[in-house]
């Protein structure tokens, strides 16, 4: 990929959290950044005026708006080198509590919107024979949590389709990195919706209260995470999976250990299903 300082980054969900931290660090270092949010004023208010910043109002669930934003980025900066699928949210609630509409909206933002970016950036990446996607998943995509099943589902989906994208994009020299953070000190735990249909038997409110109390005490430093992304972008040996935070690493390792044990226990049963 081009000299790093010449890179153009396209970032969704740039008005807060990792997206905002990444945009600020990139701009401070002289990179060009197209930053999207539901209201670009929220980006401009937090970052200020910068000739290398293109703030864009985008509904990422609307494919036509995403395409227009990407085309405008290329028109303004001449190219896109790195696309960051960061926008998303966690919906809390037992699966019985979550309505069809709530689940569909979560999938629209956390899954379909990522695909909108991929679908519209990939033609540029293919043409220039370079590019790098950073798709934000979560350590919650590796193992389940009672009360957060819809979030486990969408983040597992991000991991799955990103692995497929890496295979599809490799012939065009396009990199894919799945970023799976653990608990980082952003506003994430202070801004999650809860399913409107409350079923007392599940005790979802206890989970909500616990998360609210823990907010602000998360061990992860978002500035350190985004620096790793900047250092990783475009590298030949860029990893497919980036588990960020010791808690994320341990969660994934424990999950895979338990799954391997389960596979071994059921190995004979698995092999028993073939024709004699």
Q: Show the DSSP H helices in 108-221 as ranges.
A: 113-128, 149-169, 204-214
CA–CA dist 103, 271 (Å, integer): 36
**Alpha-carbon radius of gyration of the chain:** 20
Query: Beta strands of the chain (E only): which ranges?
Result: 8-11, 32-37, 53-57, 82-85, 131-136, 174-181, 241-244
Nearest Cα residue to 14 out of 245, 222, 269, 256: 222
**Residues marked as catalytic:** 151
52 touches 6 (CB < 8 A): no
| 3-state secondary structure at position 5 | helix
Query: Partners of 134 in the beta sheet?
Result: 84, 177
CA–CA dist 109, 50 (Å, integer): 28
CA–CA dist 13, 15 (Å, integer): 6
| 3-state secondary structure at position 234 | coil
In 10 A of CB 127, how many CB atoms? 11
């Amino acid at each position: 990929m081009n000299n790093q300082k010449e890179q153009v980054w396209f970032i969704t969900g740039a008005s807060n959290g990792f997206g905002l931290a990444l945009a600020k660090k990139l701009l401070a270092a002289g990179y060009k950044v197209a930053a999207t949010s539901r209201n670009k004023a929220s980006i401009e208010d937090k970052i200020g005026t910068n000739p290398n910043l293109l703030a864009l109002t985008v509904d990422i669930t609307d494919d036509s708006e995403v395409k227009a934003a990407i085309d405008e980025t290329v028109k303004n900066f001449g190219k896109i080198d790195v696309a960051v699928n960061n926008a998303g949210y966690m919906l809390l609630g037992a699966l019985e509590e979550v309505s069809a509409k709530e689940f569909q909206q979560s999938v629209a933002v956390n899954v379909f919107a990522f695909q909108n970016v991929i679908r519209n950036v990939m033609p540029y990446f293919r043409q220039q024979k370079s590019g790098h996607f950073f798709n934000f998943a979560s350590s919650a995509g590796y193992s389940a949590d009672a009360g957060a099943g819809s979030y486990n589902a969408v983040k597992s989906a991000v991991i799955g389709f990103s692995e497929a994208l890496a295979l599809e994009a490799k012939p065009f020299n396009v990199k894919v990195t799945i970023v799976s953070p653990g608990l980082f000190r952003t506003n994430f735990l202070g801004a999650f919706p809860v399913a409107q249909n409350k079923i007392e038997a599940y005790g979802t409110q206890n989970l909500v209260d616990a998360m609210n109390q823990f907010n602000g005490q998360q061990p992860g430093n978002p500035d350190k995470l985004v620096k790793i992304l900047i250092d990783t972008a475009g590298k030949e040996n860029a990893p497919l999976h980036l588990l960020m935070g010791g808690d994320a690493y341990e969660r994934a390792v424990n999950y895979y250990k338990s799954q391997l044990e389960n596979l071994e226990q059921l190995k004979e049963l698995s092999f028993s299903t073939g024709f004699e």
